[in-house]
Structure 1
Amino acid sequence: MISIQGTPSTTVASKANILPCSIKYTGPASSSRHLWDPTSQPSPETGANNPGAETHTAYFRGRKLAGTKITIPDGYQGHVLTTSDLPPTGTHQREVLQIDDEQGEEDESGEVAENAQWASASWFSDIIVWGHEVVVDKAQDGVVKGIDEWIGMSQILNGYSIDDK
Structure 2
Amino acid sequence: MFALQPQQPSECDSKSSKSYTPNILPCRIHHDGPVESLNRYWTPVPDEKDQNLQTAYFRGRKLRGRRVQIPRGYEGIVATHTDRELPRTTPDNSDEAEVEEVEPAEPVKVLEKQATFGDFVVWAHETIPASDDPYVKGVEEWIKFAEAMHTEPAQDENKGTST
Q: How do 1:1-165 residues align onto structure 2 when only pairs under 5 Å count? A: 1-6=1-6, 11-43=17-49, 54-85=52-83, 114-139=107-132, 141-159=133-151
Aligned-pair CA distance for 1:11: 3.1
Shift of 1:32: 2.3
In structure 1, C-alpha distance between the alignment counterparts of 2:113 and 2:142, rounded to whole Å: 19
**How many residues of Structure 1 are paired with residues of Structure 2 in the alignment?**
123
Rate the CA distance shift 1:42–1:54 in 2: closer, same or farther, 3 A: farther
What is aligned with 1:163?
A: none
Change (3 A) 1:123 1:143: same
Percentage of matched positions with identical amino acids: 36
| Cα pair 1:11 1:120 within 8 Å, conserved | no
Counterparts in 2 of 1:31 and 1:154: CA distance versus 1, 3 Å: farther
State how far apart, in whole Å, the 1-side matches of 2:48 and 2:70 are. 19
Structure 2 Cα separation of the partners of residues 84 and 30 of structure 1: 26
Structure 1: give runs of 5+ residues left out of the alignment: 45-52, 87-112, 161-165
| Alignment TM-score, normalising by the size of structure 1 | 0.66
Which amino acid in 1 is paired with 2:146?
A: S
Q: CA deviation at 1:29?
A: 3.1
Amino acid at match of 2:145: M
Work out the CA distance in 1 between the residues paired with 2:62 and 2:20.
23
Distance in 2 of aligned mates of 1:43 and 1:155: 34
CA contact (8 A) 1:43 1:54 kept: no
Structure 2 residue runs of 5 or longer lacking an equivalent are 8-15, 85-105, 153-163
Report the aligned-residue RMSD: 2.4
